[in-house]
């Protein structure tokens, strides 16, 4: 389905719900003007992925400038707002009643995939100090899916310092260095970027295609027996799919066999390309996901037939 076409304006907590279960809410949101109120999610950590746009995020930890391709991880309870410099489209992935952590890297070492030094935290800079003031501000708090409002006679984003190891962080996909093998198509779990209790978030970035003559050069066919698989296509041409454009999402429920499309499979056998160029965000959810009305309204119902050579 076309996720970007489903994106709604307004408050972040009114963003179009695409997929969900008890541990995960998967939404798409569009913002083109400064938020008039602060948002605070008490239901779980919020992960934002910037599909389009640039601007500034202000929160009670400071200021972060953002651009296309950024992940912004907001711990539960963070107060925040956006001041877009250009229309911003955000994929929003809530870890409901849970939190995010970085994946274990095992024998690859702690600097594999991306260096922790690439994680940027908010700054108490001039931009942050300049947005403080005495005018009234509302904070919209989401708890159990319902909104409550706290009103301050001043801007509560007025921190003078903070201490600890829990804070919002920003990571751009361009800082991710994928694990690759010239002889073996590595399964997607190696591309995990953030891990929650009942799902993982993986990032596919450009990488060399397997060069060994006998190596499989596209994903293997599989049945997703343990996970629901969701892929958001950010940019480029996804090497295992056909007729997929940026801003679309594919949803493969567990138990449904799938793999590379026929055209992609044939192209892989010819080994004409030496690099992939796609950027995509994948969620593997351990529990079944419900299909939201916003996704259903944008669904390409012929997608299930796209593995047919006769299509």
Angle at the Cα of 95 from the Cα atoms of 91 and 100, rounded to 5 degrees: 100
Q: How far apart are CA 131 and CA 29, in angstroms?
A: 24
Write down the pLDDT at residue 188.
83
Q: How far apart are CA 165 and CA 156, in angstroms?
A: 21
Write down the pLDDT at residue 238.
75
| CA terminus-to-terminus distance, the chain | 18
Write down the pLDDT at residue 169.
98
Write down the pLDDT at residue 241.
63
Write down the pLDDT at residue 203.
97
Write down the pLDDT at residue 78.
98
Q: How far apart are CA 5 and CA 299, in angstroms?
A: 10
Tokens standing for residue 162:
């903070």
Would the pTM count as exceeding 0.85? Answer: yes
The answer to whether the beta carbons of residues 201 and 223 sit under 8 Å apart is no
H helices of 58-134, in order, are 126-130
- Full pLDDT tens readout for the chain, 311 residues: 999 999 999 999 999 999 999 999 999 999 999 999 999 999 999 999 999 999 999 999 999 999 999 999 999 999 999 999 999 999 999 999 999 999 998 899 988 999 999 999 999 999 999 999 999 999 999 999 999 999 999 999 999 999 998 999 999 999 999 998 888 878 888 899 999 999 999 999 999 888 888 887 777 788 888 999 999 999 998 755 667 899 999 999 998 888 777 776 666 566 667 888 899 999 999 999 999 999 999 999 888 887 776 54
Write down the pLDDT at residue 76.
97
Question: Cα separations (Å) of 8 from 78, 110, 290?
Answer: 22, 38, 19
Tokens standing for residue 150:
């706290």
Write down the pLDDT at residue 271.
61
Write down the pLDDT at residue 311.
46
Write down the pLDDT at residue 239.
58
């Amino acid at each position: 389905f076309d996720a970007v076409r489903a994106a709604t304006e307004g408050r972040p907590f009114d963003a179009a719900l695409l997929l969900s279960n008890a541990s995960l809410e998967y939404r798409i949101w569009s913002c083109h003007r400064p938020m008039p109120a602060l948002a605070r999610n008490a239901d779980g950590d919020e992960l934002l992925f910037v599909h389009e746009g640039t601007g500034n995020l202000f929160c009670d930890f400071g200021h972060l400038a953002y651009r296309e391709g950024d992940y912004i991880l907001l711990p539960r309870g963070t107060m925040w707002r956006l001041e877009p410099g250009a229309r911003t489209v955000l994929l929003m992935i809530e870890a409901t009643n849970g939190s995010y952590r970085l994946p274990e890297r095992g024998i690859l070492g702690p600097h594999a995939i991306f260096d922790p030094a690439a994680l940027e935290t908010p700054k108490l800079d001039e931009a942050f100090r300049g947005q403080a003031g005495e005018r009234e501000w509302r904070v919209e708090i989401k708890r159990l899916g319902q909104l409550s409002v706290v009103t301050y006679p001043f801007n509560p984003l007025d921190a003078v310092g903070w201490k600890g190891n829990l804070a919002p962080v920003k990571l751009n996909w361009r800082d991710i260095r994928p694990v690759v093998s010239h002889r073996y198509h590595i399964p997607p779990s190696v591309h995990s970027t953030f891990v929650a209790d009942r799902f993982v978030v993986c990032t596919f970035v450009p990488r060399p295609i397997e060069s060994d003559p006998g190596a499989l050069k596209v994903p293997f066919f599989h049945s997703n027996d343990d996970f629901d698989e969701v892929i958001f296509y950010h940019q480029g041409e996804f090497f295992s799919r056909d007729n997929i454009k940026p801003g679309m999402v594919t949803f493969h429920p567990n138990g449904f066999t799938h793999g590379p499309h026929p055209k992609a499979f044939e192209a892989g056998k010819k080994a004409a390309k030496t690099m992939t160029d796609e950027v995509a965000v994948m969620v593997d959810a351990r529990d079944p996901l419900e299909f939201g009305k916003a996704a259903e309204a944008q669904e390409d119902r012929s997608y299930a037939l796209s593995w047919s050579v006769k299509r």
